[in-house]
Structure 1
């Protein structure tokens, strides 16, 4: 297994270096764990193209959407402890949320992107995104785009506010604090990685498969962020994988997806 692992590291390092060379203005980070042990931790490229400062494992990168999987994991840990229930109606713990047809929205609706609140509240600004109270008040006053539970549509901007506010109101603690202190059990992880909804996505179009809190991509579940960020796991293999770039890029054939496939195929072949 060690030989397989060393060969995998060499192949991924070559691919990472090639990606960095192809885009000299940016950089990337890649990591993978197998049964809780690190098997990859690679960086390449620059953090600042003006100064040439290299990108390291300590360089912070804003990674779109992958935090949704972490937020969902917090919910599952709290559910396992009996603190939260997937059938909890948000209005039971969030005063004022029951307005405009939202009285029956459950935590499961939010986790599966079927709550009908995929849009930012009208008039929201960049500054508003850093104001939790303002954003949560706006969502409490919002009207669903569709009847909750009747279809799915990726809650790009609102997912974190909805999940985070439920966690805060139930526990009295931020979702970040809960995340730092809790681990999900393998048994619960297997349960919540099962398919929960499938069908066309209102936000992006096309067929989408989701579990209770995660997207599904082949054998892996987790989240891919727009423009270059991936985080997910293949529970049957004991594999988790994450990669992110500091320059957003759009288009078909995301090279981070190829890195994920390379790692997944190698671990599968090694048994």
Structure 2
């Protein structure tokens, strides 16, 4: 164990996880952390199916919704590191059809910062369409932007995945899932634990999600709220357990989302902060570029104020609000991030989807691990 961390941090995290499950607040959780490229926490508790059934393990796969956007952003940066993609090149250069309706000047940077102006889905989009790559890419390419690229930022909840994923496909000739495996997960040694769409062979390892109060929170949003009106315009495509437990959905290549173990996602972020077993995904200079504030202010879809880097959110509550931390959260309370100030990488995956006052586990556990690490240093 890293000498900068108390020897009992793994045990303390394990106790907290068991208490959360035994209290009934949680059904299944995984937590993993790396410090300076070394694993310091790999803990789990709860059930992979029903209480009293199959125990959740460190290798249980958990669908974590938009936590996967951090995987997509990382893939784009790895390709940029290799000179295959450029942030300020229009997406239409790689994907000509995307230039329709005034989007010809929208760039990869705009896509990464949610400023491209096409967060919306058709109001009657179905789960079947959602899982059909060619259909959704055609829909997104044909969309008229809600605002001029670069003039505002609004969370592209679903469309982020097709915009960047199809760009990756046009450049590499690989599907997003294949590109993620080739450029990110195989070099990291986590090709069997971190995915966009699952191989069919991995379905049996995947824990079903269960509803806490997340679906009720979505229901509480007014139908006119931008997130419900544009990002998730009908219940069939809400990011809830009912959708995530569908076989076709889990198999679909959807790089707006991801299915992973906590230890695999923590390893990915550790390999952004530094080396992990000799592997570093990108240079320190590129990490600094990706993780610095690119846009800041009111998000037109989420209606809160956020700081965003190139594909990552900065300073979220589970990150203790610190701008030197970057990563991505997912619907229902999952999160993965790197804390550059501490050399720390953290991931929480969860089976129970929660919101609001019930969404405390990530901050609680990240705080516990941060307390065992020396104070932050300059990144």
> Shorter-chain-normalised TM-score: which range?
over 0.9
Rounded to whole Å, the distance in 2 between the matches of 1:162 and 1:130 is 15
Partner of 1:187: 285
RMSD: 1.9
Would you say 1:167 and 2:272 are equivalent positions? no
Which SS does the other structure have where 1:155 is aligned? coil
Which SS does the other structure have where 1:151 is aligned? coil
Partner of 1:238: 343
Would you say 1:259 and 2:357 are equivalent positions? no
Structure 1: 5+ residue stretches without partners: none
Q: CA offset at residue 189 of structure 1?
A: 1.3
Equivalences for residues 33-52 of structure 1 within 5 A: 33-49=34-50, 52=53
Q: 1:121-142 CA deviation, whole Å, 9 max, x = no partner?
A: 3421111121110000000111
Rounded to whole Å, the distance in 2 between the matches of 1:267 and 1:260 is 11
Moved over 6 A (4+): none
Q: CA offset at residue 255 of structure 1?
A: 1.7
**207, 210, 217: which one aligns with 2:308:** 210
Contact persistence 1:224–1:231 (CA under 8 A): yes
Which SS does the other structure have where 1:124 is aligned? coil
Q: TM-score scaled by structure 1?
A: 0.93
Rounded to whole Å, the distance in 2 between the matches of 1:49 and 1:24 is 14
Q: 1:207-249 CA deviation, whole Å, 9 max, x = no partner?
A: 1100111001223100111212010101232211100111111
Contact persistence 1:198–1:209 (CA under 8 A): yes
Partner of 1:228: 333
Rounded to whole Å, the distance in 2 between the matches of 1:39 and 1:176 is 29
Equivalences for residues 14-53 of structure 1 within 5 A: 14-23=15-24, 26-49=27-50, 52-53=53-54
Rounded to whole Å, the distance in 1 between the matches of 2:166 and 2:328 is 20
